[in-house]
Amino acid sequence: MTKSDLWTRVGSAIVLFAIAGTALWFGGIAFGLLLLVGGALVVVEWLALVRAMTLGGGAKGALMLLGPLAILGAMAGLWFIRDHLGMTAALWVFGMVWATDIGAYFAGRAFGGARLAPAISPSKTWSGLIGGMVAALIASATIGDRAGIIGVPLWIGLFMGLLAQLGDLGESWMKRRAGVKDSGKLIPGHGGLFDRVDGLLPVALLLGALAFMGDIAVRAAG
């Protein structure tokens, strides 16, 4: 990577962080609009990847139906968590995913070792997987306490770290089958938006569903 490419990536990351952070801070319509637009863009990239993949017609049809539903469900889950549980709870979700990425990157570089799934993503290692899960555990315990999510079991962070990396591997598998490097060209230096949220989607979908079901249970009990 050249210095120019590096600065492009850094600049794009700063812009993305500023937009997402501002919308998250204000919540409400601002955050909902960001999720709606972002979700729609990810759906477009998902469908383009599926069309390019070497798969049977039935498998393609299932992915083209279930993928957009899961993506929009993840966006709805994030909105529900921010709207009902607050900004810090939403940061808890984001924080676990970000920590997973950072922990996996540095653990993989520091310890290397056996490849996790060389046929799908040759750069990923078992040490990176473990490092990402441990980092997610630390983020979960730290931010979850501040969010008032009392008594969060330690395994929640570990599982979310694993789930985020499975989402990343899933997208890598899709890109392999489609013969492309990135899901799109929307973000200079980073590729598509799907490339940036592949780990967030399964985590947001699961935690959003759990938060929604928990809210329904509380209302029913009350």
Cα separations in angstroms, 220 against 84, 149, 196, 206, 214? 16, 20, 37, 21, 10
50 vs 153, more confident: 50
Q: Is 123 helix (H, G, I), strand (E, B) or coil?
A: strand
pLDDT number for residue 220: 74
Question: In sequence order, which residues have a C-beta less than 8 Å from that of residue 165 and are 6 or more positions away?
Answer: 100, 104, 124, 129, 132, 133, 199
Give the three-class secondary structure for 113: coil
The pLDDT value given to residue 47: 96
Of 141, 174, 147, 182, nearest to 160 by C-alpha is 141
Confirm whether pTM is higher than 0.85: yes
Q: Which whole number is the average pLDDT over 142-166?
A: 82
pLDDT at 222: 62
Helix 87-111 to helix 154-178 angle, to the nearest 10 degrees? 70
CA triplet 164, 119, 184: central angle to 5 degrees? 60
Question: Residue 54 has what pLDDT?
Answer: 84
Evaluate whether 169 touches 140 at the Cβ level (below 8 Å): no
Residue found under tokens 């570990």: 158
